[in-house]
A = this chain, B = another copy of it.
Amino acid sequence: MLPAGQPKFKRRKADRPDEIVAAAMDVFAEKGFAAARLDDIAARAGVSKGALYLYFATKEDIFRAVIEQGVAPNLGRLQTALAEHDAAFPDLLRAFATIVSSIATDSPVGGIIKMVIGESRNFPELARTWRERLVEPALGVMSGAIAAAQARGELRAGDPRHCAISLVSPMLLGVIWRETFVPVGAEPLDIPTLAQQHVELWLRGMRPDAGAAA
């Protein structure tokens, strides 16, 4: 009856928040916001439910923290990727596709995207945050680069924003596919291959006519 050796908990104030957010990420990604129980999150974080409230005021706050934490690292990687700006446009794009597919493949963005989409009406601020901090910057950088390449005559005309969407949408769809249909028996998409094939298609489709003047 008496706990022989091990103590029944450790005091680890510094590590708890991150551990809780990580556990919450898993549970939220699996169940969605409403169906996720705080008891589950606590259990997965190796902590009691009460302890959650030592670090977060409400369930919504935990959710916010999860979504927030999903923004920063990806934004960082994208910016880093696009900082190496000196490559020729096609090669830049190929590198970009590689990075996006690696993010898509081995980070939990998938689950987060799902939640941002699914809970956008219930948590408008989250959709706003995600758009302002991740989607718009990324789209902005990309359409900027596209517009510049168009100005240099490397790409043909066309609304740069639409072009950027044409470019990234298959990768995003691949992530959504993995989250939605693969758990239900669908063949996984080979996102890196898909991305590569699509980038080449896009580059050919955006190549200016041979005879056109710059």
Chain A residues with CB under 8 Å of chain B are 30-35, 114-122, 124, 127-128, 131, 135, 158-159, 162-163, 165-166, 169-170, 172-174, 176, 179-181, 183-186, 189, 193-194, 197-198, 200-207
Contacts and interface: CB of A to CB of B under 8 A. Distances in A.
A165 to B, nearest CB: 5
Tell me which of A181, A200, A202 has the highest count of chain B C-beta atoms within 10 A of its own C-beta.
Answer: A181
Nearest to A117: B180
Q: How many copies does the complex hold?
A: 2
B176 A131 contact: no
Nearest to A189: B165
Contacts of A181: 120, 127, 131, 135
Contact of A117 (B118, B186, B207): B118
B166 A197 contact: yes
B198 A201 contact: no
A42 B127 CA distance: 29
A127 B180 contact: yes
A141 to B, nearest CB: 17
26 contacts: A32-B121, A32-B122, A33-B34, A34-B34, A34-B35, A114-B118, A118-B118, A120-B179, A120-B184, A124-B184, A127-B180, A127-B181, A131-B181, A158-B201, A162-B189, A163-B197, A163-B201, A165-B189, A166-B198, A169-B173, A172-B173, A201-B205, A202-B205, A204-B206, A205-B205, A205-B206
Contacts of A166: 170, 194, 197-198, 201
